[in-house]
Structure 1
């Protein structure tokens, strides 16, 4: 494809992303699925254009707004690409016009208004002192209060770190390879990997190799998983022979990590109300060599299956649905799709899921709560409220759990773990570990646990 054809494809992709309801990554997958003639290098270039716009969209739109107030621009995605090329890539207006020439598969010629817009941006810095903080640091204005409450004066630096593209992290699958063996297997396929700082199983790749084409991936030696997510799974402290529930398993990333920690011994039940996702995890389980997992779709967090199995599991992981504020580096579109009423709705759902999942934990067992959120409303506040209403549980110091499982000093200085892109180089993750007191038990209203797997 010519550079101009790539730009037109990026405009079309952005249009699909912003007119549909699917997340950006799913929109992109559908876009390229319907255009199989686009090769790998062209796909990467098109995605780079589109995601650069998504990462800096507030600032690009601010510049568009400055111009629109006088003249107006008829096609927003074209204007965003024009602004991106000049403000981020350093193109001149003439160079932009050279690619917007109306040739085959290339953007139609710039009109007089677009040409004037491009000229007005030459020499400008994408960051401008007149921009409000939420524009400069790329987050919804309404969420600022929660960010300040969580991070204090340092919130600007935390949000600045969220603009950058996340690295590609993978986990060595301990069922098939050590981390050193995974590094060697990747090197044999010309992929450079270095050990992550916090996860003992993690590797950070140089660049973005086509994972599906790598033999070591096809053979199950490695799994794509952010370092923070790896740590959340490790802190479940699942051991061989135990019975474990991954209550919100989704596509099964943490389930795979837990199975490896258990050495395929014992049993894991991977549950989710999105039944299709948990069922589709079958291929991942097979590739990883995991065979101690039962996949179970639930009607809701209050599914009767929970009541039937009350008090019968050693470990229960609740990786709760959340705002996803810790993953904005990977999903920059998600920040603009998040709405103010989503936070109280999610908080209510998280509390309900915790209240239901705790029934599964046997005396002396552990309940692990995790989110990929940075917000206190979804993290520490949830745990404080849960413990206040469930006196048969107590919080375990995360530093003690970390030391037992990982064997190094914990990066957290409080009772729970909060990872952030700025401080730790991972996605934003929260983990709290609680135990049901040995003298307690499942709720008295529950029926005895029975095996009905």
Structure 2
């Protein structure tokens, strides 16, 4: 159902955009809070507001260039609707002033080829330069085009409760179209983005929402029945739940995180999942005594390291404006420290998987190279070999998922085994 486009609805979008462009808080949190405070907005109205303000976050630089020095929240929204969503002046008529018609037509017709490469890609200069050095200019343009699109909705089937075919069949019966994922054995990609929070399958724990790329991290860790496993940066526990299912609900699975709030979000998910082998615990930092007492005893550790999140720009477009070279440099220090702490946990013959949802070499390859140089008791196991055992065909010693090639979020992962 499409929202009725009115000056009042446009005013809501303008208010939200003004809050977002301060970059004080994550965009999704700002939008959620606004919707909680404005409960009169229906599902279609919310979708309009969210999609339109996110279009401005995604395409900020090229939209500003089109505004030709006359930048305001109102004008950014009008150009976003005209350019990114293809609205005609007739569709914009309820809010467009006569004095703006000529300006908007000129903004819309401006050729993209006139823009500088970073502006064309809608990236800050520092990030464009880093990615261009890694991938080359043509590849960055292709990558940025995908990053500037909304992400699809992926589900992960909980194999303790159901299987992919059964979930697909049940969803289809309810008019929800989906297809089996092309990479993860448990992934389903939906054609649309229906509200799923009240769907019986969701409530009974048959699936969780999780990007298909993220699901592969569980298959790289390969936890077995009865093992002791640690999810070191568990967050709200999406990967924890997958690990528990792969362990067939046996053994001990520790979900550690520094945030009470994130671990709180894990509780209802855990209740739905049917898992009883998960032990969530808050830690102060990677040197916490709760971690130290497990030294040398653990079979496998997943390090989904805190990172810039630049591989998730389809979902979190504000990150490209909130991160900086300085924040990335701070993160790399933390990443190296967390990986070193994880290495102390595993027994000989054990495994650490280091992963980020970043695209930057500094947070990925450089961390692994430095780790292997200082930890001769660890060796890199080809990710392709591990994934092949689970029917996943991807080449490379390292997992490197790119949105424009693999149609997932951007992910990096390395499999590090401790020599027996």
Is this a same-fold pair by TM over 0.5? Answer: yes
Residue 246 of structure 2 corresponds to residue 244 of structure 1: no
Q: What CA distance in whole angstroms lies between the structure 2 residues aligned with 1:16 and 1:239?
A: 47
For residue 12 of structure 1, the aligned residue among 10, 15, 22 is: 15
Q: CA deviation at 1:285?
A: 0.5
Q: CA deviation at 1:250?
A: 0.4
Deviations 1:327-347 (A, max 9, x none): 001111111111120111111
Q: What CA distance in whole angstroms lies between the structure 1 residues aligned with 2:360 and 2:252?
A: 33
Which runs of 5 or more structure 2 residues have no equivalent in the other structure? Answer: none
Contact 1:247–1:319, Cα closer than 8 Å, also in 2:
yes
Q: What CA distance in whole angstroms lies between the structure 2 residues aligned with 1:130 and 1:137?
A: 12
Give the match for residue 103 of structure 1. Answer: none
Deviations 1:264-296 (A, max 9, x none): 011100001112211331110001111110011
Q: What CA distance in whole angstroms lies between the structure 1 residues aligned with 2:115 and 2:371?
A: 40
Residue 339 of structure 2 corresponds to residue 354 of structure 1: yes
Deviations 1:395-422 (A, max 9, x none): 1111211122x1343x22x311100111
Residue 141 of structure 2 corresponds to residue 139 of structure 1: no
For residue 415 of structure 1, the aligned residue among 370, 394, 397 is: 397
Contact 2:23–2:318, Cα closer than 8 Å, also in 1:
no
Q: CA deviation at 1:238?
A: 0.7
Q: What SS does the aligned partner of 2:112 have?
A: coil
Residue 47 of structure 2 corresponds to residue 53 of structure 1: no
Higher mean displacement: 125-134 or 429-438? 125-134
Q: What CA distance in whole angstroms lies between the structure 2 residues aligned with 1:328 and 1:126?
A: 25
Q: What CA distance in whole angstroms lies between the structure 2 residues aligned with 1:249 and 1:426?
A: 20
Contact 2:380–2:415, Cα closer than 8 Å, also in 1:
yes
Structure 1 residues 116 and 173, CA gap change in structure 2 (3 angstroms): same
Residue 42 of structure 2 corresponds to residue 39 of structure 1: yes
Higher mean displacement: 10-19 or 208-217? 10-19
Q: CA deviation at 1:261?
A: 0.6
Higher mean displacement: 117-126 or 203-212? 117-126
Give the match for residue 62 of structure 1. Answer: 65
Q: What SS does the aligned partner of 2:385 have?
A: helix
Higher mean displacement: 16-25 or 186-195? 16-25
Contact 1:13–1:28, Cα closer than 8 Å, also in 2:
yes
Q: What CA distance in whole angstroms lies between the structure 2 residues aligned with 1:95 and 1:174?
A: 46
Structure 1 residues 191 and 415, CA gap change in structure 2 (3 angstroms): same
Contact 1:93–1:119, Cα closer than 8 Å, also in 2:
no
Q: CA RMSD in A?
A: 1.7
Q: CA deviation at 1:127?
A: 4.7
Q: What CA distance in whole angstroms lies between the structure 2 residues aligned with 1:436 and 1:159?
A: 37
Q: CA deviation at 1:92?
A: 5.0
For residue 103 of structure 2, the aligned residue among 80, 104, 120 is: 120
Contact 1:87–1:121, Cα closer than 8 Å, also in 2:
no
Give the match for residue 231 of structure 1. Answer: 216
Q: What CA distance in whole angstroms lies between the structure 2 residues aligned with 1:297 and 1:345?
A: 22
Contact 1:317–1:368, Cα closer than 8 Å, also in 2:
yes
Structure 1 residues 89 and 288, CA gap change in structure 2 (3 angstroms): same
Q: What CA distance in whole angstroms lies between the structure 2 residues aligned with 1:48 and 1:384?
A: 40
Q: What CA distance in whole angstroms lies between the structure 1 residues aligned with 2:292 and 2:202?
A: 38
Which runs of 5 or more structure 1 residues have no equivalent in the other structure? Answer: 101-109, 439-453
Q: What CA distance in whole angstroms lies between the structure 2 residues aligned with 1:126 and 1:54?
A: 20
Structure 1 residues 127 and 358, CA gap change in structure 2 (3 angstroms): farther
Q: CA deviation at 1:119?
A: 1.5
Give the match for residue 77 of structure 1. Answer: 73
Q: What SS does the aligned partner of 1:370 have?
A: strand
Residue 192 of structure 2 corresponds to residue 207 of structure 1: yes
Deviations 1:319-373 (A, max 9, x none): 0011111100111111111112011111111001111111111110001000001
Q: What SS does the aligned partner of 1:129 have?
A: helix
Q: What SS does the aligned partner of 2:20 have?
A: helix
Q: What CA distance in whole angstroms lies between the structure 2 residues aligned with 1:307 and 1:93?
A: 63
Q: CA deviation at 1:128?
A: 2.4
Q: What CA distance in whole angstroms lies between the structure 2 residues aligned with 1:348 and 1:118?
A: 51
Contact 2:23–2:322, Cα closer than 8 Å, also in 1:
no
- Larger-gyration structure (1/2): 1
Contact 1:275–1:298, Cα closer than 8 Å, also in 2:
no
Q: What CA distance in whole angstroms lies between the structure 2 residues aligned with 1:330 and 1:336?
A: 14
Q: CA deviation at 1:116?
A: 4.2
